[in-house]
Amino acid sequence: MEYHEELLQLLTAAVEKCPKGEMAVAFSGGLDSSLVAHLARKTGVVRLYTAGIEGSDDLKHAEAAAEEMHLPFRPIIISEREIIEAVPEVVRAIGTADPVPVSFELPLYFVAEHAEEEVILVGQGADELFGGYARYSKMAEKDAERRIRADVESLIASGINRDRNVAAFFGKELFCPFLDKDVVEFSLKIPITEKITEREKKAVLRKAARLAGLNLPAERPKKAAQYGSGVMKVMKKAAKREGMGVREWVRSIN
């Protein structure tokens, strides 16, 4: 069995461990959340949610991808006022005023707030496991493999717990199929040459998605959630208006 075949089996099993019934997917329109949604639709009723400021990249790409997948889509257009008011609550939920994790968690905060479903699925972990970040492709193979392992361990130790705490703030339960124990153990054994090729990043995951029958979304330049949603732009604007850097501003409103 080839790597992508076993990977798809494990990802399918991970999704099947999630509670059956109605599920929300925090959706960016990219490969990771699209594959999670594609697999989840086979076990339950899926609705896609995307949060961002009006006209943000994430909202535009997610709407197009949702239409392609023929899944119900709910855009959450967030205002500057809503973002500013949410910052202290996110800080309390994740236990840090560091603007980077705060800004990253804000889109999920709004998804959790607006989702009708009690269960939220996310695509976190795929970029770390399968070499989705540009930094990996600039490293020697052994260095990239070590960095991937370290990043995955850090995500499991702290990052995904922040996500769960944000979801729990609204009484929602968060599931991350990519961070299922069996998926992680297998994925870390896949050679880096299967993950990053001359033509594409996350190559083995793309092969698994094609095998699953997913019509892959168009690849676009990688943007973290806080940038694709426009949240960081709003935070920097608010900080500048107060004559502060964004780190100082976040602390000042808590």
pLDDT in tens, 186-226: 999 999 999 999 888 999 999 999 999 998 766 666 667 77
pLDDT of residue 221: 61
User: What pTM does this model have?
Assistant: 0.93
CB 35 within 8 A of CB 133: no
- Per CATH, the number for 3-212+225-252 is 3.40.50.620
Q: Which two tokens stand for residue 99?
A: 């603007």
* CB burial of residue 232 (10 Å; 0-12, 13-18, 19+): buried
**Would you state the pLDDT for residue 23?**
96
pLDDT tens, residue by residue, 19-50: 889 999 999 999 999 999 999 999 999 999 99
How many other β-carbons are positioned within 10 Å of the β-carbon of residue 96? 15
Per-residue pLDDT at 70:
95
Q: Is the pLDDT of residue 1 over 80?
A: no
Distance CA 71, CA 94 (A): 31
For the chain, which residues make up each domain, given as ranges?
A: 3-212+225-252
Measured torsion, CA atoms of residues 222, 249, 159, 176, in degrees rounded to the nearest 10 = -60
Taking a C-beta distance cutoff of 8 angstroms, is the pair 197, 203 a contact? yes
